[in-house]
Structure 1
Amino acid sequence: MKPPTEGFVFAVSGAAYVPLAIRAAESLRRHHPNHPIDLFCDQPVTADIFAQVIPLRNSWFRPKFEAMQRSRFDRTILLDADVLCIAPMDDVFAVLERFDLAAAHEPRRNSAVATTHLGTPLPAAFPQLNTGVLAFRKDPRVRALAESVVNTLEKSGLDRDQPVFRACVYESDLRLWVLPDEYNFMTIELLEAYTEQFAAPRLLHLPRLHRHVEAGDRARQMRQVKTIVGPAVYQQIDALLAADRTLGGDGAKVKALLRRGLPGFGRALSWGIRKRLQQWFNRD
């Protein structure tokens, strides 16, 4: 049998993160029934959701870069465990027919981590890429990039990979494509302002899913999107998905949450008052 050319990969170290990877893989399977999903891990895992469980050679805090070097697929989408897939995203594989690497920008570009530099500061116009979603081709240059990130991380002593990844990509000759935010959607609050003019998220990347790990309480895992984002935002996501023309939607009008009900009225009234005051103070 010919080996699959496209597939998804997770990479986690530590037993506490295995349930997150399983939950993320289950959400992925609902929208990608035919793509294999592999797991790189330092723990024994027997979950049927994974086509293969590959033991890590090096158990450390960033196993994703080992997975980049060892993925069996010609085209791979590598995901963090704190994600939930809510719509198909296999079109990213098509991007890899023309590009070597694809990722979305880090949304919090003014954070202390995002403004950390290695050596000479890089242009702000080339910000960090969020490494929670990485798509790449099987290519010696991609493997070399991952190896360079690992080596630089070990030498630098940094506990975050994105400053290092940014510098290594900047110095590489890889063909990079920057994915739209909807393929790595992190700022859930923005959805309150979304209408049908905006593309719906495909993948929610939610660091809050780590809280049960940090608290040492596996019973506090949040499994449902509705529980995580709240009923109002959940309904907004549903409406956006139904309206998204790129997902076969009908383009139906979706009203922004910010404009709904008494909270929306209060915001509009406050905005109107501020505008009138500005006009009054700025008059000749």
Structure 2
Amino acid sequence: MGYGSTRMSVADLWEAAVESGQSIIDIVMISAAAGFIIGVLNVTGLGFAVTFALVDLGQGSLLLLLLIAAAVCLVLGMGMPTVGVYLLLAVLIAPSLIETGVEPIAAHLFIFYLGMMSMVTPPIGIGAFFAASIAKAPPMATSFEAMRFGWTAYIVPFLFVFSPALLLIGDPLEIVLAVVTAILGVYAISSAFVGWLHGPVGPLRRALIGGAGVALLLPPDMLEGAALWINGAGMVCLAVLWLSGRSRATDTQLMAAGVKN
């Protein structure tokens, strides 16, 4: 079987195998370097010390611990490849989160997301800097713009921790509610960022749309049940703003059509 009208020759297969082997060498070297670091941490006990220090800094507050861990993930991930970032953070940060009762999969996704966001986070946003060099754009401005476009990747890891239903952990109703509110919340805040909801929106409407998005993103398990009411208020507010924006856009289109006629 070939692809379209072409077939891979033996030489092509050999070239593909050689290139794959060269790519694997890079991954093996990165993993080996990360293994040395992890070995040193285990032998010296520094890994346990970091876990204890993070839990102690959190002082019983999960949110404070997450904020500290997020900062550490962003700093340690700067300039490192994906495999190395994850292996390092899985030893240093994830145990402290799991120790405080965070779901293991949520803890590992938390460190992975934030470790990778170091690629676009100033001052060492390597991915954004590479993109800036290709586009011949200012590096720092490109990095900040990348942060604005990828803002969800800074927030979603926290939602994974506070709302495990997003990871399909829990009752079906909780999972559906968490997914729906998260999607609507991201939609609302993104609309507020770009200033567009069925058309341009002013500062006041942008603030209202952003507030509705924040209310929708609030995990249902927080604030002892009050979060559900806040989620509902955010959904109603967003629905009203969406319908009013659609009505305005329709009126504008009708007026434009009448002027042309």
* TM-score (ref. length: structure 2): 0.29
- Which protein is richer in helix relative to its size? 2
Structure richer in strand, relative to its length: 1
Q: Which has the higher contact order (CA 8 A, sep 6+)?
A: 1
Rg bigger for which structure?
Answer: 2
